[in-house]
Amino acid sequence: MKALLFVAIALLPFAVHAQTDTLYAQYPTYAGKDLGLTYQNTKAYIRVWAPTAGALELKVYANGEGGAATQTLAMQKDAGGTWVLALPNSTAGFYTLQATIAGKQMAEVTDPYAHAVGINGRRAAFTDPALIELPGWELSKRPVLKSFNDIILGELHVRDLSTNPNSGISYPGKYLGVAQTGTKGPAGVSTGQAHLLELGITHLHLLPTNDFNSINEQPGQKGPTFNWGYDPLNYTVPEGSFATDATNPVTRLKEFKQMVYSLHRSGLRVVLDVVYNHVADAGSSNFEQLVPGYYFRHWADGRYSDASGCGNEIASDRPMVRKLIVESVAYWARVYMIDGFRFDLMGILDLETMRQVRTTLDAIDPTIYVYGEGWTAGSSPYPEKLRALKANTGQLTGVAAFGDELRDGVKGHFSRHDETGFAGGRPGCEESVKFGIVAATQHPQVVYSKVNASKAPWATSPAQCINYVACHDDMVLWDKIVASTPGFTEAERVKVDILSNTIVFTAQGVPFLPIGDEFLRTKKGISNSYNKPDSINQLDYTYKANNLSVFNYYKKLVAMRKAHPAFKLSTAEAIRTHLEFLPSPAGTIAYTLKNNAGGDTWQNIVVVFNGSRASANVAVPAGTYKVVLRGAELDEAGLGTHTGPTLDVPAATAVILVTK
């Protein structure tokens, strides 16, 4: 019966997809680990899953782009819906796959399991990444990480770090630019990787570096040179435009490794922003041309569903799609020693896929961090209860989500540019900020009914909550503050900026900072710069030179967090035990971290935020305190002393006291 049904599926007209999971469930699956190009005892094999194909051909090319095929080789039907081919020993160059389905010859496409490709990613390369030699790589080790709670994330696009001529970097816009050390910029400030080290982050989160569609990699071609890269073409191949020679498939692999190796040697872990929720174009994709319908979710009328907002969404719940995602993540972690993964629109992916990602990475290295956006950009036919949405984070272990509650509570709603938040004096935001301060965990003093986005806690441990006030999406923090605070002076806006990230870096959970916010970076008010030129997106180190006092404050703030476990408690129970909110006037938040929280050398810490536009008098527990932070001043040795029972806090200011 199963064989007859499968024949019927294979004979379906091209334009008709088997829309039900019942039909797709009849497709044979393949459990082996040798999909794509593999090498076994110097012999090369290619195995492709294409269960509905009546024939599958492999076409060999001399070049990565252009020219006619030099060979056409028929693949043989094999187990689990796969086709296999043992390559002749002399085979070299590049290849495509072309299926015939229901009598129709489909388009030539790249191998979905390609690990090396030619220029612009339309042909896979006969390249064994395992044979790419990089001096010292075999000795490369991940920097030590004792706990996920120690993580400090810095987000960056590869090009942004180095394309400004004032960066002093020799490889602008390239992997090697990120790898370069010791560079200087205006007034002698550190730039590039040296800037990241000076700031003190632990993890560098790179916007998509997998091969994406929007940039023409041919040298000298006209057209855009910048894109964030959320239009994936090949999931498990480094992007070619960041390499010094995209025509050579080895170059991009080797230079990507050089970047990771350099960052590891400097003590920085590397996070990849991965985009498994959709593809650049569903209809022309290798997925659709090899197994029509299977890789994508559809509505009942046959339309692609579009929870990604990019025209399609991946059906991660189907076994062979899940297998591809899990094995792709594992490949990055194993072959390139990637230390973390940020899942774009993770709320599209199903919970079981994320569980398998976590389990697979645990077997490689349990210190690899996994987090993502716990939402979608549109509706999906797949049930919410089965997806990795923020509200379902408690059903996952070792997977974190972004906390937009604190984000919008501190700075105002992300899309309403003229709306400010707690730090800019907007009333009624206190509970949303407190929600983030306790890292989205259950706390008896948070009034969840007054929280902006979530009416209940969703994290079971603080490491599951990413706290932030800005990221690559939407306005950078400084632009948001400018847009939402008409009538404020420059000095007042700087105070709002400093207060905003002081809240982030003293909150429980994992702090996240888009690189450049620490020196008041601007994108000239542009909120969606995904395809804007380098002149908008690049880091201009003049801002660092001109705002060095702000940068130095951020550097001290990061160092204080690193030094004091009270700000990074490891369990929800520890937060409930040691973090107590204090009564305070509207527009302020005050709390204590008491009894040597987390084993901290500071016995009792009082943290006070005044987001209002006027000074506030806040009650603090009786005692004599050392003032370690006041506004833009931070000195653990002390800025003076304070004796309770009240504390006068200026407008848009944070104060931290420590019992003497």
Which residues are identified as catalytic?
344, 373
Beta strand spans in 36-78 (E):
36-40, 43-49, 55-61, 71-74, 76-77
Phi, psi of 167 (to 5 degrees): -75, -25
- My answer on whether omega of the bond before 462 falls inside 30° of 0, hence cis, is no
Using alpha carbons only, how large is the chain's radius of gyration in Å?
Answer: 26
Give the strand pairing for 400-403 and 369-372: parallel
Rounded to whole angstroms, the Cα distance separating 43 from 126 reads 12
Rounded to whole angstroms, the Cα distance separating 150 from 570 reads 9
Rounded to whole angstroms, the Cα distance separating 546 from 604 reads 36
Residue 558 contacts residue 517 (beta carbons within 8 Å): no
- What are the respective helix, strand and coil percentages of the chain, to the nearest 5? 30, 20, 50
Q: Which residues of 375-407 are buried (b: 16+ CB within 10 A; e: fewer)?
A: bbbeebebeeeebbbbbbbbebebbbbbbbbbb
DSSP line for 508-538: SSEEEEETTGGGT---TT-S--TT--HHHHS
Please give the DSSP secondary-structure letter assigned to residue 501: H
Amino acid present at 78:
D
Q: At what angle do helices 490-506 and 477-484 cross, to 10 degrees?
A: 130
Residue 264 contacts residue 197 (beta carbons within 8 Å): no
**Nearest CA among 97, 90, 96, 134 for reference residue 118:** 96
Rounded to whole angstroms, the Cα distance separating 630 from 458 reads 32
Rounded to whole angstroms, the Cα distance separating 574 from 439 reads 12
Tokens of 324: 């591809």
Four-point Cα dihedral 298, 82, 130, 219, nearest 10: -50
Amino acid present at 489:
T
Please give the DSSP secondary-structure letter assigned to residue 652: T
**3-state class of 549 per DSSP?**
helix
Q: Is 462 left (phi over 0), alpha (psi -120 to 50) or beta?
A: alpha
Rounded to whole angstroms, the Cα distance separating 506 from 588 reads 15
Residue 18 contacts residue 12 (beta carbons within 8 Å): yes
Tokens of 501: 């990230």
In sign, the C-alpha dihedral spanning 166, 172, 173, 176 is negative
Residue labelled with tokens 């079981």: 352
Give the strand pairing for 510-514 and 465-467: parallel
Tokens of 636: 């653990």
Q: Which residues of 550-560 are buried (b: 16+ CB within 10 A; e: fewer)?
A: bbebbebbbeb
